[in-house]
C-alpha cells in the first residue's frame, strides 16, 4: 500500500518545511506548486519532496491533477495535506493501519482549526471533517465545485479518530484577506448556477448564516473569537450576494 502525501502550494515558504516534516513517514511526498513567487519550491526540494509546477485553474482541477500525478508515481493511496496543516504522529499511525481495511476507499479526518492562537470548538470549525485520504483509483474531485472542492468516491468512506492540526489564520487581517478571495469564487459559482439575489436575500441569507454558525453549530463556545468569526461569515455572505448582483449587471 504505497501512500503518497500531496501538498498544494502557492507562496507557502513559512509553512512548507514543517508540513513536509510532518508527512515524512509517507512513502513519497509530492508538492504541487502553482508558481510561487517566494522560496517555497526550493525549501520543499531541500526537505526531500518531489516538486512539480502547474498553472492554477481552480482547486478541484489542481487536486485532480495531483491525483493523476500520484497515480503515475505508483500511489495506492493519496493523503492531501495543506501547507498550513500538520499530521501528528498519532494520525500517521492511524492512517498506516486504515489503508489496510478493504471496506473503505476513503477516510474522513477530523481537524482542529487554530485561529490567531485559539483552537476552535464550534461554529463549523470543529470537528471540521475533511475527506483527505483516498484510494487513488477510486476518487476524483467534482469539477463543478471550483472552491471548497468535493471528493467523489467509488465506494464507502470511514472516519478516523486522530486529528489534523490546521494553523490557518495568524490574525484577523489574514482571515479577512483570504475570505475576500473566496467571495469572488463563490459569487461566480452562484452565477453559473443561474442564481439571482432577491431584494430580501441581502438580509435573510446573512442572518441565516449567523444563526447557523453561532447558534446551531455552537459558535458561542469560542467566546469573543467565535462571535467575531460568525459575524464575519455573515458579513461575507452579504458581500457574496452583492458581487453576484454585480456579475449579473456586467453580462
What's the gap between Cα 121 and its chain centre? 18
Q: What is the mean pLDDT of the chain?
A: 95
Q: Do both 48 and 105 map to the same domain?
A: yes
Q: What is the pLDDT of residues 58-105, one digit of tens each?
A: 889 999 999 999 999 999 999 999 999 999 999 999 999 999 999 999
> Which three cell numbers, joined as nine digits, stand for 195?
442564481
Confidence of residue 179 (pLDDT cuts 50, 70, 90): confident
Give ∠ CA 193-197-203 in degrees, rounded to 5. Answer: 135
Boundary of a domain, candidates 153, 168, 183: 168
> Which pLDDT does position 178 carry in this prediction?
82
Total count of domains within the chain = 2
What domain range is 236 assigned to?
171-249
Boundary of a domain, candidates 143, 168, 193: 168
> Which pLDDT does position 1 carry in this prediction?
84
Q: What is the pLDDT of residues 133-161, one digit of tens each?
A: 999 999 999 988 766 789 999 999 999 99
Boundary of a domain, candidates 117, 150, 168: 168
Q: Do both 140 and 238 map to the same domain?
A: no
Section 15-41 average pLDDT:
98
> Which pLDDT does position 185 carry in this prediction?
85
- Whether the full predicted model's pTM is greater than 0.75, yes or no, is yes
Confidence of residue 181 (pLDDT cuts 50, 70, 90): confident
> Which pLDDT does position 45 carry in this prediction?
98
What is the DSSP code string of 129-180? Answer: -EEEEEETTSEEE-TT--SS--EEESS-EEE-SS-EEEEEESSHHHHHHHHH
Amino acid at each position: 500500500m504505497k501512500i503518497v502525501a500531496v501538498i498544494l502550494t502557492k507562496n507557502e515558504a513559512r509553512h512548507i518545511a514543517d508540513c513536509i516534516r510532518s508527512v515524512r513517514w509517507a512513502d513519497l511526498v509530492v508538492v504541487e506548486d502553482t508558481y510561487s513567487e517566494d522560496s517555497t519550491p526550493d525549501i520543499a526540494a531541500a526537505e526531500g519532496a518531489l516538486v512539480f509546477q502547474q498553472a492554477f485553474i481552480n482547486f478541484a482541477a489542481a487536486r485532480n491533477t495531483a491525483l493523476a500525478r500520484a497515480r503515475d508515481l505508483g500511489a495506492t493511496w493519496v493523503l492531501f495535506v495543506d501547507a498550513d496543516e500538520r499530521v501528528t504522529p498519532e494520525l500517521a499511525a492511524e492512517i498506516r493501519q486504515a489503508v489496510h481495511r478493504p471496506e473503505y476507499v476513503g477516510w474522513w479526518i477530523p481537524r482542529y482549526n487554530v485561529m490567531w492562537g485559539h483552537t476552535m470548538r464550534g461554529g463549523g470549525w470543529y470537528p471540521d471533517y475533511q475527506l483527505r485520504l483516498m484510494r487513488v483509483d477510486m476518487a476524483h474531485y467534482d469539477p463543478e465545485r471550483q472552491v471548497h472542492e468535493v471528493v467523489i468516491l467509488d465506494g464507502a468512506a470511514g472516519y478516523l479518530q486522530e486529528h489534523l492540526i490546521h494553523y490557518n489564520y495568524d490574525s484577523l487581517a489574514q482571515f479577512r484577506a483570504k475570505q475576500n478571495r473566496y467571495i469572488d469564487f463563490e459569487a461566480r459559482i452562484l452565477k453559473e448556477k443561474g442564481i439571482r439575489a432577491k431584494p430580501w436575500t441581502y438580509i435573510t441569507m446573512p442572518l441565516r448564516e449567523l444563526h447557523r454558525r453561532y447558534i446551531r453549530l455552537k459558535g458561542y463556545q469560542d467566546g469573543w473569537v467565535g462571535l467575531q468569526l460568525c459575524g464575519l461569515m455573515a458579513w461575507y455572505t452579504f458581500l457574496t450576494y452583492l458581487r453576484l448582483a454585480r456579475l449579473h449587471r456586467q453580462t
